[in-house]
Amino acid sequence: MKNSTFAKGIIRVIFSGLMASSVISTSAGAESLKDFNARVDAIVAEAAAKQSTTPPSEWPAPVTGKKIVIIPCSMGGEGCAAPARALQEAAKTLGWEALLIDGAGDPSKMANAVQRAISIGADGIAIQAIDAGVIAGPLAQAKKAGIKIVAYQSLNKDGLIDVSCPVNADWATTDGSTETFQEGYFITAYAYKEAGYSLKMIQMRADEYGVVAARVKGADKFINECKAAGGDCEILASENYLITDLTTRVPQQAVNLVRRHPNFTVLWAGYDAGLYFMIQGLQAAGLTSKGFAVSFDGSAPNLEIIRKGGFQRATAAASPPWIGYCQASSLNRLFSGQQPVDEGVHTKLLTKDNVPASGAFVGDVDYKPFYEKQWAKK
């Protein structure tokens, strides 16, 4: 797959622009704070703009009678669960048998799920937010058995993942992720602007996910560029949290950090499902009157907080259900002996100004008719 297939995506265009300008400013050391802030304004506006890229108009004929296994990182995390449910729906439309096995945030359960896929003779495996390196052994066995592997928010290792959604050769790498690196950059740019061009950030990372590590790299790049331009950007504290602790330790962890750093302006969290429980803890402690939060994935409960003007003001998200359909389409292409292509789904900045009036974010494009028209030919 060539990178040109991804060039249509609006966020790639944004990232290319910001990278070009940041290289000039940092290499010459000449970007003024005024110019930097103007560039931030442009990045935020573009990231929040309505998207128009559609799924392709041509597909291979649907390959029927296939069996797939869907393995989300945890059905307790909406960012993992929503694409998994959508893939189940798409598989049904294609006439495939789809078995969903909850990874439950446990690498051993994830590995066992891959082994189950091998044992039942699955044709394809779809993983959601599980890095290939975490379950490299079982995935290698699956590849050897001829099983096609697609992923979402899952960094690759040794080519174990055949394709990721959004589709981009640079996306699934071992040392970073274009899509998630850039969303980490622009959500931090938004936080800086929203906080009055002054960023005092508490960061909660979620190191167990490579996709979040890429988001952190994007945030770090923005903060370094801000400082180089003479801007007021600082990480006051940065801590890790675990998905298995969301309902127990994480809310109090957030409370403790905010109490230790009362001058914070932004709470930056690695993904929405985690931030949701952080906010519950902060509300119970009466600590949501100052500052605000940003995160990623566009989980429905978090969108409601944004919609109501609550403590969370923004999230970076691709349409979770479209991701599931992208995975189904990519598997069908692989089953047909073709290479996957850009399916049109990419990340967007969602704020109170552009969040859907109700419900989940499903994208700016009515993607389903494109797929249903093609898949009806089976």
DSSP 233-274: EEEEEEE---GGGTTTHHHHHHHHHHHH-TT--EEEESSHHH
pLDDT number for residue 214: 87
Q: With contact defined as beta carbons under 8 Å apart, do 164 and 187 qualify?
A: no
Mean pLDDT of 328-337: 96
Instruction: Note the pLDDT tens digit of each residue in 268-308.
Output: 999 999 999 999 999 999 999 999 999 999 989 999 999 99
pTM for the predicted model, two decimal places: 0.83
Q: What is the pLDDT of residue 180?
A: 65
**CA-to-CA distance for 169 and 52, rounded, in angstroms?**
22
- Say which DSSP state 4 is in: G
Fold classification of 3-52+176-317 is Rossmann fold (3.40.50)
pLDDT of the residue at 51? 92
Q: Has residue 10 got a pLDDT over 70?
A: no
Domain coordinates of the chain in residue numbers? 3-52+176-317
Q: Count H helices and E strands in the chain, helices first.
A: 12, 11
Please say whether the beta carbons of 272 and 79 come within 8 A. yes
Distance CA 68, CA 97 (A): 6
Nearest to 54 by CA among 316, 376, 374: 374
